[in-house]
Amino acid sequence: MSRWLTTPRRCPGLPWVGRPIDVLAASVLLLLLTGLTLYAAGVGSYTMGMAQLWQGLFADEKALSANVLWELRLPRILLAILGGAAMALAGVLMQSLTRNPLAAPGLVGVEAGASVTMLLILVQWPEALPLPLYPLAALLGGLAVALFIVALSWRGGIAPLRLILVGVGLTAMLGAVADLLITYGNIDRVESALMWLGGSLHRSGWPQVQSLLIWLLVAGMPLLFCHRQLNLLQLGESVALSRGLNAPLIMLLLLLCSVTLTAATVANIGVMTFVGLVAPHLARQLCGDRHGALLPLSALFGAVLVLLGDTLGRALLPPLQLPAGLVVAIIGAPYLLVLLARQRNR
């Protein structure tokens, strides 16, 4: 029985080939995500049971239950799921490309660039842009910094060590700029900016859901068809080149996908670095480094983590809302420390 569960099965039409146990793990995570979605839709200042939720789905938009469900909770839930999946996929790519299990999606300065851009807008020039353009500005800021770091570290290809060193240096510099803006900015504006920096979904809406969904489809879905290339890159560039893979080009395209997913997520829901770090580790406990299963399982773990963090942030200390990013870090950090300690003792 155990051999059947761990034997890979070819599934025509599917972008990845996994073992039955991988399908079982994905099914369990989907069920967990569904249960969390139902709980998140009902919990809050206005509590709704299953009957009210069902009525709210089809009730007139003027009804209170329908208004709360469609205008407040469903966009927030979907944004948490999409953002968690995007950050997890970005984390898998960054860890695979650098061959460093502790690499986070913000390693190449995406989050630092988006954060400084948002701080400049929120603290220094709050009337420079209309509110709907805030995510676009953060996205462009994050992409600009990431591309600058890639250009500095490019030497006929992506050198993982050089990429890490340049990214850490520029991120530290941008962090100093962010601290300067927070320290000397208007206190009321800084408070709003800090809420966003903590990874909060309190400003979620359907435009943000649409924006993040588009970026996830553009930069995330193709990754499910790149698992074989990622498996080869894990063995080193020389091995990948010997198998006919254009390693520099593939690494650049995959890095751009990671950067785009990170920038889009940070632009719409704030900083969620820890999700991109811990979700791939959780998935590896089930499937190892086989990217055919690692990519979808990491996306599911990321979605569960962000939705769980946001739901707990709303439910623990009402009416106070804790940022989802902080809750995820509080929950996930102890597990990550235990996991690293176990690996060191092996």
Rounded to whole angstroms, the Cα distance separating 254 from 61 reads 42
Render pLDDT for 90-101 as a digit per residue (tens, 0 to 9): 999 988 888 877
Domain boundaries in the chain? 2-344
What mean pLDDT do residues 12-23 have? Answer: 61
Rounded to whole angstroms, the Cα distance separating 122 from 139 reads 15
Rounded to whole angstroms, the Cα distance separating 193 from 118 reads 8
pLDDT of residue 87: 92
In contact, 206 and 192? CB cutoff 8 Å: no
pLDDT of residue 76: 92
What's the mean pLDDT when you consider all of the chain?
81
Render pLDDT for 174-214 as a digit per residue (tens, 0 to 9): 888 888 888 888 887 787 777 777 777 877 888 889 989 99
Rounded to whole angstroms, the Cα distance separating 119 from 117 reads 5
309 CB neighbour count, 10 Å cutoff? 28
* Token pair listed for 141: 């800021």
Specify the fold of 2-344. ABC transporter involved in vitamin B12 uptake, BtuC (1.10.3470)
* Token pair listed for 218: 């553009």
Tell me the helices (H) and strands (E) count for the chain, helix number first. Answer: 16, 0
Render pLDDT for 324-346 as a digit per residue (tens, 0 to 9): 888 888 887 787 777 667 665 55
Confidence at 14, pLDDT banded by 50, 70, 90? very low
Q: Which residue has the tokens 């989050």?
A: 111
Confidence at 298, pLDDT banded by 50, 70, 90? very high
Q: Which residue has the tokens 């990754």?
A: 223
End-to-end CA distance of the chain: 28
User: What's at 159, amino acid-wise?
Assistant: A
Rounded to whole angstroms, the Cα distance separating 321 from 295 reads 31
Confidence at 28, pLDDT banded by 50, 70, 90? very high
Q: Which has more pLDDT, 180 or 241?
A: 180
Q: Which has more pLDDT, 249 or 18?
A: 249
Residue by residue, what is the 3-state secondary structure of 80-106? HHHHHHHHHHHHHHHHHHHCCCCCCHH
